[in-house]
């Protein structure tokens, strides 16, 4: 990766062959998402566009899960929270892309869970859905990477 700032999220990859731990790297402002699964490097402009670096084959027929810390600020105080992410990529369609891309985010904060519901592969839309459920005046305590949509 270039000198762009990056963030790394750890999680799990699952498919019919089993599960394995993965790291997901997201470039700030560079609109790049990357991960390595079973020795194959995948990258794309967002989670719904992950393709094998060498073959160009779209990632499909699997589930990716990861958690990341996401503090929530309300009335001058910051509460530690966790954003749980679940991305389901359907089987490969006739066009080579997954038939469906389902992203569900759940923010665990202050003993409550705020869910995005299914948001296609749009990370930003899923975050907006969660933000609308938070108490008035709440803000995420840090900016999440908008390039992960």
Q: Is the pTM of this model over 0.75?
A: yes
Average pLDDT over residues 46-56: 88
Average pLDDT over residues 77-104: 91
Q: Which pLDDT band, with edges at 50, 70 and 90, does 148 fall under?
A: very low
Q: Which long-range contacts (CB under 8 A, 24 or more apart) does 142-148 make?
A: 142/70, 142/71, 144/70, 144/83, 145/7, 145/26, 145/27, 145/28, 147/26, 147/27, 147/28, 147/29, 147/30, 147/31, 147/32, 147/33, 147/45, 147/46, 148/26, 148/33, 148/46, 148/47, 148/123, 148/124
């Amino acid at each position: 990766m270039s000198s762009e700032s990056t963030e790394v999220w750890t999680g799990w990859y699952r498919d019919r062959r089993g599960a394995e731990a993965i790291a997901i790297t997201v470039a700030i402002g560079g609109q790049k998402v990357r991960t390595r699964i079973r020795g194959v490097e995948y990258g794309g402009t967002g989670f719904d566009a992950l393709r094998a670096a060498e073959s160009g084959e779209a990632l499909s027929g699997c589930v990716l899960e990861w958690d990341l810390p996401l503090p929530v600020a309300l009335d001058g105080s910051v509460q530690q929270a966790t954003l749980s992410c679940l991305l389901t990529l359907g089987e490969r369609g006739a066009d080579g892309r997954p038939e469906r891309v389902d992203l569900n985010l759940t923010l665990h904060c202050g003993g409550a869970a705020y869910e995005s519901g299914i948001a296609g592969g749009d990370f930003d839309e899923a975050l907006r859905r969660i933000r609308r459920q938070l108490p008035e005046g709440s803000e995420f305590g840090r900016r999440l990477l908008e390039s992960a949509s």
